[in-house]
Amino acid sequence: MEIAIVSTEMYPYAKTGGLGDYVFTLVNHLRKNGIKAYGIIPLYKSIKDKYIHKKNLDGPLEISDENIEGIEIKDTGKKLKIELNGQTYDFSIYQSKDCIFFDNGKLFDRDFIYGPPGSAYSDNHIRFGAFSWAVSNFAENETFDIIHANDWLTALTVLISKEILRTKKKLAFTIHNFAYQGLYPRSVMQELSLPSYLFNMEALEFWGLVNIIKAGIVFSDRIFVVSPTYAEEIKTYEYGYGLEGLIQKYEKKIVGIINGIDFDVWNPAKDTEIYQRFSERSIGRKAKNKEKLAEMYNFDPKKPLFCVISRLTYQKGIHLFTEYHQEIFNLDANFFFLGMGEYQYKLLELSSKYKNVIVDTNFKETLARKVYASGDFILVPSIFEPCGISQLIGMRYGCIPVVRKTGGLASTVKDIQEKDGYGILFEKPTKQDLKCALKRAIELYEKKNSMKKIVKKVMSLDFSADKMVKEYIKFYKELVS
């Protein structure tokens, strides 16, 4: 079985968030299981500079700081020409051991993947539309059994392959975040050379606009959603963003699978970046990490440490801390925020007022590992969360999850008030519910035996990529059988 995973990101080549990790994990764990899988992404300027031209990168390029030793990207000699609305786009195909890259300098020789921070390039629909056309034509002439696209930016790959090229290959599509759907004026149909008959409510039309994510939903053979709870939530008005009826219509081909984490990559027993390695059999050693972090950031290690490792944005529930700081930061605990986003400046201002609040906006994975290893609780108060990775990594490193009951958080955390529970859930993104959850966590922290038992429990849970990929393989086999 051969599978093409079409995306705009793949770690370590290009990554702005969880999508890059997802594609890397899926591709490489499929390969470990004997399946010939490749990621397919654009060849961004940053990838050329680092992996082909071997330049030292000091600018704001969105690329992993992964050591490049052993990674080689070669020109395959294959070329493609795509015409969109009278414009010609020439692509050259490059390849590494696990990824295929599509090079077009006009579209992708830019400093950012999607646009400068806080904005998007105005021609993203052209950039990724042309990419989707090129990938569809390329894949049709290759030996892939399945083409698997991700989110709205590559959803047209599914439509083009099925409706225009009439492929016999099977088509899969993953919804990572339904809030981003790719809404454009009707004129985009002509710009992307899409047949006008597809502008109808059963295909791409949405209240007079083109909705690109519909291409992946309507024309795919199987739809994956990144957690079972989120798969149910997008059927509702609150999370469906106007497409809940469409999701209900196609619910029989939708399946929710939790994004797993690579247990080899995230392993506190072998992690060389943390102060003291530990496992569920030696959780007493974890305390050394908190002591060292406390020395570094000057906080009291005897108090419980709540860690927030995420973008500091409204979606992540960060406004709850800035709006209700008096009620929350006066609790007898430490709060560590690691990340960037629209609330970073307000949090930095508050950290000068509250000595138990630590804010570091210089996100580095090496520091994140130290914080995970030090934390008593991983705190995720998201407004919505399709899957969520920080709670999974946190648990792997012995942090008890304190999370809002939504999406993947609800799928991966069971409240301690339930049988075999190991976390603290709260219902609404309100001051009252969050404060109540924090107080429950502080009370738990004071019960040392109970705390130790639950820490051991969360470290033994299996939210591994191995488990995730077994589920994908099952559904892939069903598609091609």
Give dist(CA 475, CA 466) in Å, integer.
15
Nearest to 466 by CA among 267, 261, 279: 261
User: Could you tell me the end-to-end alpha-carbon distance of the chain, in angstroms, rounded to an integer?
Assistant: 11
Give dist(CA 398, CA 377) in Å, integer.
8
Q: Which two tokens stand for residue 249?
A: 């219509």
Q: What are phi and psi of 433, to 5 degrees?
A: -70, -40
- Which residues make beta-bridge pairs with 173? 149, 223
**What 3-state class would DSSP assign to 196?**
helix
Question: Which alpha helices (DSSP H) does 185-261 contain, by range?
Answer: 188-191, 213-219, 228-233, 237-240, 244-249
pLDDT at 65: 45
**What 3-state class would DSSP assign to 381?**
coil
pLDDT at 62: 46
For each of the chain's 481 residues, which pLDDT tens digit applies? 999 999 999 999 998 888 998 999 999 999 999 999 999 999 999 999 999 887 655 444 444 444 455 789 999 999 999 999 999 999 999 999 999 999 999 999 999 999 987 789 999 999 999 999 999 999 999 999 999 999 999 999 999 999 999 999 999 999 999 999 999 999 999 999 999 999 999 999 999 999 999 999 999 999 999 999 999 999 999 999 999 999 999 999 999 999 999 999 999 999 999 999 999 999 999 999 999 999 999 999 999 999 999 999 999 999 999 999 999 999 999 999 999 999 999 999 999 999 999 999 998 889 999 999 999 999 999 999 999 999 999 999 999 999 999 999 999 999 999 999 999 999 999 999 999 999 999 999 999 999 999 999 999 999 999 999 999 999 999 999 9
Give dist(CA 186, CA 184) in Å, integer.
7
The answer to whether the 2-260+466-480 and 283-462 domains have the same CATH topology is: yes
Q: Which CATH superfamily, name and number, covers 2-260+466-480?
A: Glycogen Phosphorylase B; (3.40.50.2000)
Q: What are phi and psi of 95, to 5 degrees?
A: -155, 140
The residue behind tokens 């944005």 is 313
Give dist(CA 233, CA 386) in Å, integer.
9
Kindly provide the residue ranges of all beta strands, DSSP E only, lying in 112-253, ordered along the sequence: 146-150, 170-175, 183-184, 205-206, 209-211, 222-225
Count of H helices and E strands in the chain?
Answer: 20, 18
Which pLDDT tens digit goes with each residue over 77-118?
Answer: 999 999 999 999 999 999 999 999 999 999 999 999 999 877
Sign of the Cα pseudo-torsion (335, 339, 343, 344, in order) = positive
Q: How many CB atoms lie within 10 A of CB 24?
A: 26
Nearest to 395 by CA among 383, 412, 382, 411: 412
Domain topology for 283-462: Rossmann fold (3.40.50)
Q: Which residues contact 60 (CB under 8 A, 6 or more apart)?
A: 111, 112
Q: Please say whether the beta carbons of 426 and 57 come within 8 A.
A: no
**What 3-state class would DSSP assign to 93?**
strand
- Chain centroid offset of residue 332 CA: 32
Q: Which residues contact 70 (CB under 8 A, 6 or more apart)?
A: none
Domain ranges of the chain: 2-260+466-480, 283-462
Q: Which two tokens stand for residue 146?
A: 């399945």
Give dist(CA 266, CA 20) in Å, integer.
16
pLDDT at 56: 58
Side chain identity, residue 127: R
Q: Is 208 left (phi over 0), alpha (psi -120 to 50) or beta?
A: left
Q: What is the largest CA-CA distance in the chain?
A: 70
Question: Which alpha helices (DSSP H) does 252-338 contain, by range?
Answer: 286-297, 319-323, 325-329
Kindly provide the residue ranges of all beta strands, DSSP E only, lying in 254-351, ordered along the sequence: 254-256, 305-309, 334-338
Nearest to 29 by CA among 18, 40, 37: 37
